Structure 1
């Protein structure tokens, strides 16, 4: 028979009963308090979330844009080609983006990613029904997403202590998911009301807060702000 735990009033630290978990919201509250007090963490989350928002907003409505000018027999093939090129832009050069993040610094790659996102919005938004030009825009969109994602997540991870890193990463994933979901929903309404060029313009404008954060003066000696 297993020995029973003592019930006396010892001086040891209190522990939660076996099988009882702390509230799930506790981790999110902790993550928010850490991120709120750490400028580098805020920039990292902003880079991940805004880069994802711009990418999803433009990418989600690109098949609709292709369907406006191509017959049903052609549009599925074209959507497959264009989105395959876009996904290649997202992931094929990730090792290079990681190397540049270490070589040039996190902020520089974040700003470079924003520049690529803006170029993507400009090229795709002015492509009209020219599919090769639209394809170039979607490749640039994938590359810009890769820059903001890799550099932003790296900056976020190194700007917080190991003890709170899982909670902060979960918080970042939540914000990124909400940003992408919101972009997917709203992009349909914008496409219906104003068209694809206006959608790409609004997506470009959405990068303004990220640029402002990335260009803020770096506090001397702040952790995670060396780059």
Structure 2
């Protein structure tokens, strides 16, 4: 029964992901990168609007900032793919974390400066791209071929739920404490990913081998 086989695959994929450090890191990289990206990106248009510009000017600024953000998310994906093959999966996750931290610092201290907000959102997009490319590669290599589709489905579900939670909470944070606090909390959200990355590196003492084609 195809439906039963799919359910069995999902049940089988979860313990495999949890038991393999590379798979955990892959899912963590994608989910936490998505949390930071969604949390910061969602409230940036609201933050721009709070500067008090007229509606037309606000729309232009929002369009420019979000265009820069989307370019960061997708335009350099081939570069991060090349780096993932060239440097390894874990180093590119580390690069993604650094980009996300830098993004939070730039956006969180930008006040209402459009250029700095655009720079911060571009860096958020780049960090998301790095964690997504390296994380998905780690996951696909860490699980058996027959479980890859189920593992990817679980990863997408985790990422979607994490992003939805971040988007919902970001509005509460901005309303209560402001955009700068949101950026700080987004930076702190990378803590578990840093722990996963360093924990795996300390256990292995080296980068995982690249699977031969």
TM-score by length of 1: 0.87
CA-CA distance at 1:31 after TM superposition: 1.6
Matched, 1:155 2:138: yes
Equivalence for 2:204: 219
Equivalence for 1:138: 121
Equivalence for 2:39: 57
Out of 59, 63, 71, the residue aligned to residue 88 of structure 1 is 71
CA RMSD of aligned residues (A): 1.7
CA spacing shift, 1:23–1:166, aligned 2, 3 Å: closer
Secondary structure at 1:154 match in 2: helix
For residues 164 and 27 of structure 1, the distance between their equivalents in structure 2, rounded to whole angstroms, comes to 6
Equivalence for 1:193: 176
Secondary structure at 2:204 match in 1: coil
Out of 56, 61, 67, the residue aligned to residue 78 of structure 1 is 61
Equivalence for 1:8: none
For residues 161 and 22 of structure 1, the distance between their equivalents in structure 2, rounded to whole angstroms, comes to 19
CA-CA distance at 1:220 after TM superposition: 7.4
Out of 42, 45, 58, the residue aligned to residue 24 of structure 2 is 42
Equivalence for 1:129: 112
Equivalence for 1:174: 157
Question: What are the ranges of 5 or more consecutive residues in structure 1 without an aligned counterpart?
Answer: 1-15
Matched, 1:30 2:12: yes
For residues 52 and 37 of structure 1, the distance between their equivalents in structure 2, rounded to whole angstroms, comes to 23
Once the two structures are superposed, the pairs formed by residues 3-14 of structure 1 within 5 Å of their partners are none
Q: CA-to-partner distance for each residue in 1:66-121, whole Å, 9 max, x for gaps? A: 00112212111111110000000011011111000111111100010000000000
For residues 199 and 37 of structure 1, the distance between their equivalents in structure 2, rounded to whole angstroms, comes to 33
Matched, 1:209 2:200: no
Report the structure, 1 or 2, having the larger helix content.
2
> After the TM superposition, which of the residue ranges 83-92 and 28-37 deviates more from structure 2?
28-37
Whether contact under 8 Å (2:6, 2:150) holds in the other structure is: no
Whether contact under 8 Å (1:90, 1:142) holds in the other structure is: yes
Matched, 1:164 2:147: yes
Question: What are the ranges of 5 or more consecutive residues in structure 2 without an aligned counterpart?
Answer: none
For residues 220 and 160 of structure 1, the distance between their equivalents in structure 2, rounded to whole angstroms, comes to 21
Equivalence for 1:66: 48
- Give the length in aligned residue pairs: 207
